[in-house]
A and B are shown apart, each in its own frame.
Chain A
Amino acid sequence: MNEQSDIAAMNYTKKYAFIGAFLSTLFMGLGQLYHRQYVKGVLYFLLEVYVLVFWTNPFMYAMWGFITLGETPQKRLRGKIVEQGDHSIFLMIEGIIFLLLFIIFLFVYYSNIRDAYKTGRLREKGKVVSTFKKTLHNVWENGYAYLLLTPSIIFTIFLTVLPLLFGILLAFTNYSGPYHLPPKSLVDWVGFKTFIDLFHLKTWSKTFYGVLTWNAIWAVVATVSTYFMGLIYAVIINHKKIKLKRFWRSIYILPWAMPAFISLLAFRNIFNGEFGPLNQYLQAVGLEGIPWLSDPFWARFALIVVNLWLGFPYWMALMSGVLTGIDKEMYEAADVDGASASQKFWKLTVPMVLFATAPLLIMSFAHNFNNFNVVYFLTQGKPVNVEYSYAGSTDILISWIYKMTLEQNQFNMAAAVSILVFVIVAPISIWNFSRTKAFKEEDMIQ
């Protein structure tokens, strides 16, 4: 008897949640009105009316612009602009912004449906539906937390997510000089054509594979060389017989005290083939000057040497920390066992340091892979390579991208290469973050 009435009640009341959700899906706020939450219902209702009345046309226009990227090209008569025409890139950015706003609106719509459903469930259970005042109080209690977050979120979205989306989409257009540069001419969607060109068109593919190969070699050599140089210096200044440890450490971290590009400009002068000090010396000793920055091999060599100078102090500082942290008793135990100095170094010191710093080694690889500063300020990618399009012999992918965008107007190709760089580097960064404290609850071993 009791069970039956329960089931009957369930069957009957189930409709509250369902009808509420259904009404709210039809039009925002209807479900809330049905639940007799008048103020909330009217507010939701007015919100949708407002959006429909004032934003439908702009939205449709933005979507038109996003899909077509403009239809009227700029018209000129004797060099004067007669008709402004559509600006494809602005239309595209506007389209993305509207799409982002639309997603936010959909989220609000969804929460309206969910709210109607939840209130319905409350009524089914025979509980009192909260009044508007109480709702407002609830929103304040739980929501103000997110209010604090909004500035950071908005700026992050507008400065990274939006440009990122825009950048990705650019790869699927023909936005490039000289024929597709707004406002003079229109840009169109071309699908995967840019990627196909990159891999199959000889001028592009040759550059891409050439630059990628050097980029990979560069990243490996730059990382390994700074790492071992850092280790050597750290071991030497941490040797118990060396005095003035703090003095040496402060000297070696001097490169941190200045902008990298300033040191790099100074190095550009030192390596200068005609009147740089380095060649002056070589000639004074009677040797021939080396074309440091104008020969592909020597330019690459110079890059690695300079990067070594800039990069090893970081490892040195890091490893000094690790070395002072190694338990002295281990060395004492090794002494008792009669281990030689080199045995202690290779069997104790190196494995300990490697163990503590290996994860950072991978991070440093990712950093060097995209080490724009060193390449751009020291060699600017030069010497010119006639077989490459818009790249020189020492260019890495990221400096090639920079040249294509800032100097050559090859925006679509630059965007396509950016996506590939991202695909290479992002997994490393994601892996790196996933093993940090913020994700794991337990503390890391320092």
Chain B
Amino acid sequence: MEQKYTKQVLLLVIVTIILGLIFLIPFYFIIINSLKSFAEILLNTAAWPKEFQWHNYVEAWKRLKYPRVFLNSLIITVFSNLAIVLFSSMAAYRLVRTPNRVSKIIFFLFISAMVIPFQSIMIPLVQVTSQIGLINSIPGIIIMYLGFGAGFSVFLYHGFIKSIPREIEEAAIVDGCSSFCVFWHIVFPLLKPITVTIIILNSLWIWNDFLLPLLVLQDQNLRTIPLATFFFFGQYTKQWDLALAALILGIIPLLIFFFFLQRHIIKGITAGSIK
């Protein structure tokens, strides 16, 4: 009996490890081959590199204009997040605290904006936004992220604010706090958990977003990391050594972000799974 049990466990451990290895194979290929010379890749893709070709990375870094695109990505992500959190928290707060027909209509508007698949409005969007001059500018794309992100964030805030008892605010009003003061000093600090979730979800989305920057940021100097990586990959599609090094450079910042905030991210994604 005892022996059978350990056998089962051993089997289970082996299965776990094998499944894990199968899962990790793609990572192995990317990392290993990014450190080989091109001739070596053609010879054997799976072998360990004879000599680490670090200069692949140096070359990719230069040709990607890495600092430039990193900064673009950073600016877009940070300011879009600020705008989304600022506007959607206030919006959701007002919608929850003034329950009437107009609020319901507005809330419905936000939700219906979330339901629309991006690809089906993408072309009209480009035509409309180029007419109002939002194309090819970083502030322009930030405004667009606000427009696309507000619906979902309002939705998450809305659900959260509902659970905050009104009495706290009423007490503050009695103490002579104005409406703005109530929001910024009482309500907003209480929203911290959901704000963290919203920032993480939006950061992952905006940082990784590919289609919107592709459509909106045509100027080479405005490219974000995913966009630059994609074009680089297309350009050097036969030069795997550089292309794979560029892919890894594209992943690294997020990987770092990810390992620091792992627990929040898992929580956030499962909370945001309704999207």
Contact = CB atoms under 8 A, between A and B. Distances in A.
B233 interface: yes
Contacts of B106: 149, 153
A152 B19 CA distance: 46
B39 interface: no
A162 B251 CA distance: 35
Given A146-B102, A163-B121, A257-B255, A426 B115 contact: yes
21 contacts: A90-B131, A146-B94, A148-B91, A149-B94, A163-B125, A166-B128, A239-B12, A242-B12, A256-B204, A256-B269, A257-B259, A258-B255, A260-B208, A266-B30, A280-B45, A401-B120, A405-B123, A422-B117, A438-B111, A438-B158, A441-B162
Given A241-B13, A372-B119, 19 more contacts: A152-B87, A156-B147, A161-B109, A166-B124, A166-B128, A239-B12, A248-B20, A250-B262, A251-B20, A251-B23, A251-B24, A259-B251, A262-B250, A318-B273, A321-B270, A373-B210, A406-B123, A425-B115, A438-B158
Interface stretch (B59-67, B149-157, B169-177, B185-193): B149-157
Contacts of A309: 23, 26
B79 interface: no
Q: Which 3 A-B pairs have the closest CB atoms?
A: A159-B147, A155-B147, A418-B120
Given A155-B150, A406-B123, A145 B94 contact: yes
Contacts of A276: 45
Contacts of B45: 276-277, 280
B95 interface: yes
Contacts of A160: 113, 116, 121, 147-148, 151
Interface of A: 89-90, 93, 142, 144-146, 148-149, 151-153, 155-164, 166-167, 170, 233, 236-237, 239, 241-242, 248-254, 256-263, 265-267, 269-270, 275-277, 280-281, 309, 314, 317-318, 321, 360, 363, 370, 372-373, 398, 401-402, 405-406, 411, 414, 418, 421-422, 425-426, 429-430, 432-433, 436-438, 441
B240 A269 contact: yes
A144 B107 CA distance: 17
A73 B254 CA distance: 51
Contacts of B27: 254
Nearest to B120: A418
A277 B29 contact: yes
A90 B124 CA distance: 11
Given A149-B95, A254-B27, A402 B124 contact: no
Interface string B250-275: 11001100110010011001100110
A257 B46 contact: no
Contacts of A261: 210, 226, 230
A281 B25 CA distance: 13
A300 B134 CA distance: 38
A411 B16 contact: no
A239 B11 CA distance: 12
Interface residues of B, number: 87
Contact of B16 (A237, A275, A373, A421): A237
Contacts of A90: 131
A423 to B, nearest CB: 11
A159 B141 CA distance: 11
Contacts of A429: 114-115
A433 B147 contact: no
B220 interface: no
B127 interface: yes
B143 interface: yes
A432 B274 contact: yes
B226 A422 contact: no
Given A163-B121, A248-B16, A277 B255 contact: no
Contacts of B244: 266, 269
Nearest to A427: B115
Nearest to B15: A236
A402 B244 CA distance: 27
A360 B120 contact: no
Given A93-B131, A151-B87, A252-B23, A167 B124 contact: yes
The CB with the most chain B CB atoms within 10 A, among A155, A249, A251, A406, is that of A155
B229 interface: yes
B56 interface: no
Nearest to B229: A262
Contacts of B127: 89, 93, 166
A433 B273 CA distance: 12
Contact of B269 (A157, A167, A270, A317): A317
A385 B37 CA distance: 37
B140 to A, nearest CB: 11
B164 interface: no
Contact of A363 (B154, B179, B251, B273): B273
A266 B204 CA distance: 20
Contacts of A153: 91, 106, 109
A242 B114 CA distance: 40
Contact of A256 (B116, B210, B265, B273): B265
